[in-house]
Structure formats: C-alpha cells, structure tokens
Structure 1
Amino acid sequence: MEWITFEFGIYAWLMYQFAFQPYQRPFKQPLQTSHGKWEVREGIILSLTDNLGKTHQGEIAPISWFGSETVNQALNYCRQLPPEITTETIYTIPDSLPACQFGFESALALNNQNSHHLTYSGLLSAGKAALQQWGKLWEQGYRTFKWKIGVYPIVEELEIFAAFTQIPKPVKLRLDANGGLTYDEANLWLQKSDSSKLVEFIEQPLGLEQFEQMQTLSNLYNTAIALDESVATFNQLQACYQRGWRGIFVIKPSIVGYPSRLRQFCQTYPIDAVFSSAFETEIGRNSALNLAVELANPHRAVGFGIDNFLSPNTPGI
C-alpha cells in the first residue's frame, strides 16, 4: 500500500506581525493517568496581525508524553521566528512540531461552525473519586463518561467498575487506559465490558508498540477498542490506517498537526473519529471544536467535558 500524500490548500503568501505569550494553568485537581500525575497545563497563545490591523489568535498546547513536541521545543521555535512572518513560514513547520502546526494554521482559520448541537463526554477522575463525580455531571446533562483506568491495581478498579454497573440511570462509559494495561488485563477488562453492556469503548488499552495485539483484541470482543496515543500525530494516524485499523480513532486536534491535512484525510477516508480535548484554553478549544463539527462521528460524544478539571477560560489571555 503506497503512502498517502496530501496537499495543503492554496494560500497567498500573506505577511503577519507575530507575537506569542506562554501561559500556565494549574489543574483544579491533578489529572492522574497511567503516564503519571499532571498538575499544570502549559502552552502558548500566539497572535498574527494582518495588514488591516486585525489580530488572529491560535494556541500551541503540546502534550509531550502523548507524542507531540515539548513546551520548551515549541517556545524555542517561536523565539527564533522574526517579528514578521508569512503563511509560507507557517506551512514549513516540521512534522516534529505538530502542536505548532495546529496553533499557527488554526490562527488563520475562521471558526464559523456552530458546535451547540454536539454532545459531550464528561471526564472522571481515576479511582473511587469517579463514583462521587458522575452524579453532578449527570445533573449538568452529561450521559457519556470517560474514566481513567490502569492507574490503580486492577482488582481495585474492577470493584469500582462493578459499582458503575449498578448505576440506575442509562449512561455510556468510556474506559481510558492510556496504554497502561498488560495483554491479560486488557482481556479481562474487555470480558467485563462485554458482560456489562455499559462500555462504549476501551481507549488505548495497550502501548503503541502493541498495535497487532490491539487488532487481535478488537476481533475477539463486542466492546470496541479506540486508538488514542497510537494516532496522536498525523503521521501516526495515517500509518495506523494504512496498517488496517478500522476501529475508532480518538483525535486530539491540538497535537495532530495541520488542520487542513487532517480535514483532507477525514474527507478522503470515512474513519470513525472521536474528537477530544488536550486541555486547551478557549482559543484552542474553539478551533478544535470547529473541526469536530465538520469531521467527527456525529453519533458519538466529543471528549471536551473537562470543565471539572480546568475552567474554560484562562485569566490574562
């Protein structure tokens, strides 16, 4: 199978005044995953001012442990740019800086899609705290919930999961392992999920290097498997599609790379895409949701229900 190539849309080489501002947003409560504890969201807000004096903003929101560049690498890239840049500069950002690709190109785009009709998946904390959180989110209108697993011993997490199966209200549960399960643990979770009829999908049960095992598991159980870390960047997304993945793709637009390239891919190949937050500010969130309206599977909730971890807006931005 030949490598898939995509062309960027045609833009005149326009000139912009360029400025950027780093930010830090502490989580209301640390986010615990199999990768560890995340306490502060760092990123960069960039501004492009055109020759009419209109300023366009974008956001660079890396998650290095997820496959993007680091915040420092993004800052170094911004610092070496001149105060005036062109769109030609934007479209020569290397693939090693996918969050920069997203931030700069999204600043050029018009966020004109209406996202009010989207349904949202509410993020729950790992461990027992999730059992106290879901009810409040239910009252806010959430019906799909995402729970982090692979954080605590599996016996403890399965006891919590058993409590979820007793919830008297109709909910969908997404189990997000962040690649933190063993093959035997993944089998056990899939068995329990099949029996419960509660789980929409298990997200990234195994590590990136275990693609074939996840393919095998997807054929053994009724519960769907979604790739997440395995498709973090555009090159990874494209490679997994080429290798035959036809399950669910969880896409974080803010770290996948150029929006135009993602759009062209999704319009060419009708993948089952779930769009998800990278804990951006409202600037990056609006750009990501704009893509979700256009490209995501309309029958699945988008993964942007994260207000209980970070407030939507950031003071000073």
Structure 2
Amino acid sequence: MVNYKFKFRPYQRKFARSLTTSHGNWDIRKGIILRLSDETGKVGWGEIAPISWFGSETLEQALDFCHQLPTELTEEIIFSIPDELPACQFGFESALGEAGEQHFDFAQWAGSREQGKKITNAPCPMPNSGLLSAGEVALAQWQVLWEQGYRTFKWKIGVDAIAQELKVFKSLVHRLPSSAKLRLDANGGLSYEEANLWLETCDRLWANIEFIEQPLPVEKFPQMLELNRCYATAIALDESVATLKQLTTCYAKGWRGIFVIKPGIVGSPSRLRQFCQQHKIDAVFSSVFETAIGRQAALQLATALSQKNRAVGFGVNHFFAQEETWLQDLCKDL
C-alpha cells in the first residue's frame, strides 16, 4: 500500500469585474490547492474549487475536511471521500492520478496562455467556447474573443428584464459572423413562460444557437423535458446535473439531451468516466473558474469523454484581474 504525504493551501483570486448570473454577483474565486507526494518523489497536484450555490460543498466544508485528514493518505482514504464532498473527490482523485502518472508541468504552463481555438497545456487541443458577460457588454466583448480565435460563445441570460435581454440578443446575433455558434446560459433563472419565449425567438431568429443552458430551476425537470421535445433549439442541463448523483438521476428519468458537466464539482473522475463510457451521453465540459491545475485535470476528462466534439467551456481567463503567475509561487511553498 502506497502512502502519500499530503499538503494543502487555500487561495483567493479576484475577478476583473463581478461575474453576474441569475444567482447574483461573484467577486472572488476561492479554492484549495492540494499536493500529494510518494516515497519515490513523484508529486501530484489537485484543486478543490467548490461552488456551493451550484450544488457542491462549501469552501468551509472542504477546508474542514482537509484539516481533519492525516498528513499521510492512502488510496483507500481518497476513494472513500463521501459524495457530499464532490469537489473534494475531484481534487484528491486528480492529485492521486498525477502522482501515479503525469506531473503537472509548471515550465510548460508558465510559458503559455489559454488561447481561443486551441487550449494550451491540454492533453489534446479542443475547440473552446468563450464566456461573454451578461448585458450589453457582450456586444463589444465577442469581437475581442473572436480575434483571439474563439468561434463559439456563451452569453449569460436571465439576469436583466427579458425585454432588454431579447433586444441585446437580437443585436448580438446580427453582429456575430455566420460561422459563429452561440450558447445561452440562464442558470435556471427563467420562468416557464420566459423559457418558451426564448426558445421561440431562437427558433425564428438564428440557426446557429447551439443550445439554451438550464432555462428553468432544478425542480422544473419535467418542464425542461417537455420543452426539449417542443422546439428545434436544444436545451442543455447544467445545474440539474451538477454532481454525479444528479447526473445519473436525470439520465434515469429519461434525459437524452445535452449534459453540461463541470468536472471540478461533479465528483469522482473515475466514476464519471465509467458512467460516460457506459451511456455515451452528449456532454459539454465546462469550467468552474479553476486554476491551471484544475483545468488540466478537467480537460483530460473532456478529451477522453467528449462524444460530439462540442467546444469545451473553458474560455474564462479574461474574467480574472491577474495572470496565474501567483499559482507557481503558491505551489513552491507546499
């Protein structure tokens, strides 16, 4: 049995401007960096990046869990992390995989930046979706991301009055090139009537709407099943499938549409692999605003499990006020 020395350190990373969704404003991304090392000197890095309002544990619960662990861990301990701590499951299993297989290459990472069309430091380059801010900011923001190579965009809706958002939406789709794809993300913030209006508008206005993401709250699953059958514009589940338990439940209840999977909070990577490979679901893999450490682990899963070659949703670095050079300094102290 291999014992791994365990160290961790919390971090804080400020957004350049508040990230606004139907859940409210988000100003600071907080998380935990993990380090596992074995007796041969192999080191594995992992990241715990919870989003409690999305369905994961809180940062405080994750920190409490880390504090109560011994300074040496076994695989048995790591694979027995309870399902109530899905971000911890992802972080520890990712670190364990790195310690046994592939070391996070700081030299490679430090000399590269995430690009729009291709993601650097990924096991296999994949098309990437760029996140647009809610409101009229998106009307200029997409052009900057287009010049960086992005061809798929995701825009937050369900934030302002629907009449205002539809007005901005019509301007946006008229400005986007015909080769672009657009995803609309409501974060569960629409009413049933508003969701119908959005879907009707999308069906009528532009063929390049890839999907509307989580139009209704989690408890409105039957209505989303119905809407997904009634319109040409697809619906993708997001908050409804935030954790592996929710993912398997929605599948069992008949969802065969698109699943947006956030590896950083979904739970056990090994169990996610098993589920996706067994059921061959149509999955889009998306960021939780993690650092390069969590992003690399998430992209490894996306590369292995993507069935439809959909753009991954990791084009979010432009939302942060600082580069990730601080991350290397933090890890040197572990």
Q: Do both proteins adopt the same fold according to a TM-score greater than 0.5, normalized to the shorter chain? A: yes
Whether 1:100 aligns to 2:110 is no
Whether 1:155 aligns to 2:142 is no
Q: Deviations over 1:31-72 (max 9, x none)?
A: 100000000000000111101122211000000000000000
1:111 Cα offset (Å): 5.2
Q: Distance in 2 between matches of 1:216 and 1:111?
A: 44
Aligned equivalent of 2:57, options 69, 78, 100: 69
TM-score by length of 1: 0.93
Match of 1:247 in 2: 257
1:168 Cα offset (Å): 5.3
Match of 2:46 in 1: 58
The answer to whether the 8 Å contact 1:282/1:312 transfers is: no
Match of 1:174 in 2: 183
TM-score by length of 2: 0.89
SS of equivalent residue, structure 1 residue 122? strand
User: What does residue range 11-160 of structure 1 map to in structure 2 within 5 Å?
Assistant: 13-109=1-97, 110=101, 115-160=123-168
What are the ranges of 5 or more consecutive residues in structure 2 without an aligned counterpart? 104-120
Q: Distance in 1 between matches of 2:125 and 2:14?
A: 29
Pairs aligned (count) = 305
Match of 2:110 in 1: none
Whether 1:205 aligns to 2:193 is no
The answer to whether the 8 Å contact 2:14/2:27 transfers is: yes
Q: Distance in 2 between matches of 1:69 and 1:217?
A: 30
SS of equivalent residue, structure 1 residue 279? coil
Aligned equivalent of 1:268, options 278, 283, 287: 278
The answer to whether the 8 Å contact 2:124/2:303 transfers is: no
Q: Distance in 1 between matches of 2:58 and 2:248?
A: 22
SS of equivalent residue, structure 2 residue 175? coil
Q: Distance in 2 between matches of 1:312 and 1:46?
A: 20
Q: Distance in 2 between matches of 1:222 and 1:314?
A: 44
Higher helix share: 2
SS of equivalent residue, structure 2 residue 41? coil
User: What does residue range 268-287 of structure 1 map to in structure 2 within 5 Å?
Assistant: 268-287=278-297
Residue identity opposite 1:125 in structure 2: S
Q: Distance in 2 between matches of 1:119 and 1:234?
A: 24
Whether 1:215 aligns to 2:234 is no
The answer to whether the 8 Å contact 1:274/1:297 transfers is: no
Which range is displaced more, 108-117 or 172-181? Answer: 108-117
Residue identity opposite 1:134 in structure 2: W
SS of equivalent residue, structure 2 residue 216? coil
Give the % identical residues.
Answer: 61
Aligned equivalent of 2:315, options 300, 305, 310: 305
What are the ranges of 5 or more consecutive residues in structure 1 without an aligned counterpart? 1-12
The answer to whether the 8 Å contact 1:123/1:146 transfers is: yes
Instruction: Name the Cα RMSD after superposition.
Output: 1.4
The answer to whether the 8 Å contact 1:281/1:312 transfers is: no
Whether 1:183 aligns to 2:192 is yes
1:16 Cα offset (Å): 0.6
